[in-house]
Amino acid sequence: MPTLFVVMPVYNEPATLAESVSRVRTARLGEGWHTQPILIDDGSDEATLRAVRALVDDRGAERGTIALFHPKNRGKGAAIRTGFAHALTIAADDDAIMIQDADLEYDSADFAGMLAPLAVGHADLVLGNRWAVQPRGIKRLAHRMLNGLLTLSSNLATGLKVSDMECCLKLFSVPAMRRIIGELDEERFGIEPQIIAVASRHRLRVCEAPVSYSPRSFDEGKKIRMKDGLRVFVVLWRERRRTARALHSRA
């Protein structure tokens, strides 16, 4: 039975964590697939630590949830990379790995649609696309425009035609993840454009699937800031240089 390893970075999410994990564990994937949540607590507060430990107590194996811990906060990218690395130690080549936040912004009901093209061998990386349907709750024009600018910049830098580069939901085949993990080194939200750039450099087959989205406000705990948007341009510039060096070395 193939496994979908769901890497969930966690930082100060005591109110939504248990429900997020429950939805992941009960997601209907079809074709014999089942989910394996991997939580990475990134130096959270005590309330979140208690919530994580409640999910992986002495019945952790029975409940099917894995938890990893960073003693200090290192950033979303670092947490994701820790989760990727652990997943690869236990995954088979016919399994898959994806990213999902623990804040209920994304719906695990969309997992099956993302998994479908990968399961039949049509893609190495499947990206969620929040703009393919009318997104629920997305009212701020500035947010949509900034996302569009960042995605356009990513497309110009990589040559891909991605619709929603910043969407959290990204699903990988295990062989694809083995190819790219050694080149992922971003600590914070720069991991999003870096994944796209490295995927392009390795010529992964990339496709998209529509996903729903219910964004939180900053008051509700949203953590990405303007500096993280600016970091995208730094990451894209650096990855273009890395790609140029890689092409030169092949020549």
pLDDT digits 0-9 by tens, 19-69? 999 999 999 998 789 999 999 999 999 999 999 999 986 555 445 799 999
Whether the predicted pLDDT of 14 surpasses 70:
yes
The pLDDT assigned to 231 comes to: 85
List the structure tokens of 101.
Answer: 């936040």
Burial of 71 (0-12, 13-18, 19+ CB in 10 A): exposed
Please report, for the domain that includes residue 125, its CATH number. 3.90.550.10
Which tens digits make up the pLDDT trace of 63-89? 579 999 999 999 999 999 999 999 999
The pLDDT assigned to 197 comes to: 97
For 172-195, what is the mean pLDDT? 97
The pLDDT assigned to 222 comes to: 52
- Using alpha carbons, select from 121, 132, 85 the residue that is nearest to residue 205: 121
The pLDDT assigned to 247 comes to: 76
Predicted confidence band at 157 (pLDDT cuts at 50, 70, 90)? Answer: very high
Question: Which residues, including other chains, have CB under 8 Å from residue 206's CB and lie 6 or more apart?
Answer: 123, 124, 125, 126, 127, 160, 162, 196, 199, 200
List the structure tokens of 125.
Answer: 């990386």
What's the domain count of the chain?
A: 1
Domain around 36 = 3-250
